[in-house]
Amino acid sequence: MLRVGLTGGIGAGKSTVAARLAEHGAMVIDADRIAREVVEPGTEGLTELVAEFGEDILTPDGALDRQALAAKAFRDEGSRLRLNAIMHPRIGRRTLELMNQAAPDAVVVHDVPLLVEGGMATNYHLVLIVDADEDVRVKRLVEARGMAEDDARARIAAQATREQRQAVADVWLDNSGTSEEVLGQVDALWRERLVPFEENVRLRRRRPPQPPVISPPDETWPAQAERALARIRAAAGARLVRADHIGSTSVPGLPAKDVLDLQVTVPTLADADALADPLSDAGFVRAEGHWFDQPQDGAPADALWDKRFHFGADPGRPVNLHVRAAEGPAWRLALLFRDWLRANPDEAAAYADIKDRLARAHAHDASVLNYAEEKQVWVDAGFKRAEAWAQNTGWTP
């Protein structure tokens, strides 16, 4: 099952996106609908709201008068917290019930207005943000909902900012234009990303090897890495020592393959094995086989250099996840190499040059091994220079 979080500001048009995903076969769970269901007449939720806020929050026919409730529940922080204590557990339980009813191969889309404000992004394999220019949103709210323009702008201002949404967005759907334009984006997203992503997670299918192609530096790589690391931290839980963005995409200004290298450090490889299923379920599929790092300084090729390796299952965001034991030396070397390149622009430029030359030389190889092996020669020599830099500067991970 693939869990997708869907959100967007008022008037952005996320309902249009949700409806289209449902047409494609997604199971859409509407948080607003659940919030209404758990306080319908006859429910324990409504009974508890009345006990807390009084009979005058009811309409003459015994239903919840939402405006009357809002007038009481949002007058101060204490009242708001009491409302949340009644509503949130019930909404959460009902949401979990519906998710548990989903088929193993389902794409579950959770339509949540306050996903960003509630810090819920790590609950999903992917977060979709629907956005539109503010003037477009205001026009829709005035024409379709009959709001006054000042009220519409106030409602927009009270929600998460565009920057806050961008920070958690794996997919940004611009709905400033026609409905046909955004629906075309949704159709491509379903076909090219959501369906294969679900299959990759369920079938534990790894990403096929790709020829080395060096891309110009992308200033969004660190933000993309942080979104993935947040999911990894949530999946790893207490076994995690640390989780880091490593490799070329972690060095500002350095050209690189458009693949995020991430590192999870755990106490032992037994902990790494215990995380095989949690990380795979979270969208980082465990690779079979014996994975290890190149021993340095004549060290024996023993278990201290062994690691576990996972591939990101999202076809729209390639990830290599290295899971290394704190009892071994390789996790430290990965961090040292990154920080050394960040602090030494000449070394970073030399590394960029060797990668570009090797990538062009091996662009048509059937395997990426030749590229990786030849690059490792420079990296091994770089480790020695990095160790000298660490001694001179007092660097520690």
Domain housing 292: 214-393
Mark the binding-site residues, compressed into ranges. 11-16
pLDDT recorded at residue 163? 93
Provide the whole-model pTM: 0.90
**Residue 134 and residue 241 share a domain:** no
Handedness of CA 230, 236, 237, 241 (dihedral sign): negative
pLDDT recorded at residue 251? 98
pLDDT recorded at residue 366? 59
For the record, the structure tokens of 274 come out as 């215990």
pLDDT recorded at residue 369? 72
Does residue 293 belong to any structural domain of this protein? yes
E-strand ranges in the chain read: 2-8, 27-30, 107-111, 126-131, 171-174, 214-215, 242-246, 256-257, 260-266, 284-286, 291-292, 306-312, 319-325
Check pLDDT > 90 for residue 240.
Answer: yes
**Residue 183 and residue 65 share a domain:** yes
**Residue 219 and residue 197 share a domain:** no
Three-state DSSP state, 110: strand
Does residue 69 belong to any structural domain of this protein? yes
pLDDT recorded at residue 73? 84
Does residue 73 belong to any structural domain of this protein? yes
Check pLDDT > 80 for residue 378.
Answer: yes
**Residue 340 and residue 223 share a domain:** yes
Three-state DSSP state, 137: helix
Mark the binding-site residues for ATP, compressed into ranges. 11-16
Does residue 208 belong to any structural domain of this protein? no
CATH code: domain of residue 324? 3.30.460.10
Stretch 378-397: mean pLDDT: 96
Does residue 209 belong to any structural domain of this protein? no
**Residue 254 and residue 165 share a domain:** no
**Residue 232 and residue 195 share a domain:** no
Rounded Cα gap, residues 72 and 93, in angstroms: 25
Rounded Cα gap, residues 51 and 216, in angstroms: 61
Domain finish residue from 150, 176, 202: 202
Condensed to tens digits (0 to 9), the pLDDT of residues 273-317 reads 999 999 999 999 999 999 999 999 888 888 999 999 999 999 999
Does residue 295 belong to any structural domain of this protein? yes
Condensed to tens digits (0 to 9), the pLDDT of residues 21-73 reads 999 999 999 999 999 999 999 999 999 999 999 999 999 999 999 889 988 88
Count CB atoms within 10 A of the CB of residue 281: 17
Cβ pair 343, 251 in contact under 8 A: no
**Residue 140 and residue 236 share a domain:** no
Does residue 124 belong to any structural domain of this protein? yes
Rounded Cα gap, residues 161 and 304, in angstroms: 46
**Residue 280 and residue 180 share a domain:** no
For the record, the structure tokens of 199 come out as 């299959």
**Residue 296 and residue 183 share a domain:** no
**Residue 222 and residue 196 share a domain:** no
Domain finish residue from 152, 177, 202: 202
Q: How many domains does the chain have?
A: 2
**Residue 262 and residue 163 share a domain:** no
**Residue 180 and residue 53 share a domain:** yes
Rounded Cα gap, residues 108 and 185, in angstroms: 18
Check pLDDT > 80 for residue 368.
Answer: no
pLDDT recorded at residue 367? 63
CATH code: domain of residue 50? 3.40.50.300
Best CA proximity match to 17, nearest among 144, 132, 168:
132
Domain finish residue from 151, 168, 202: 202
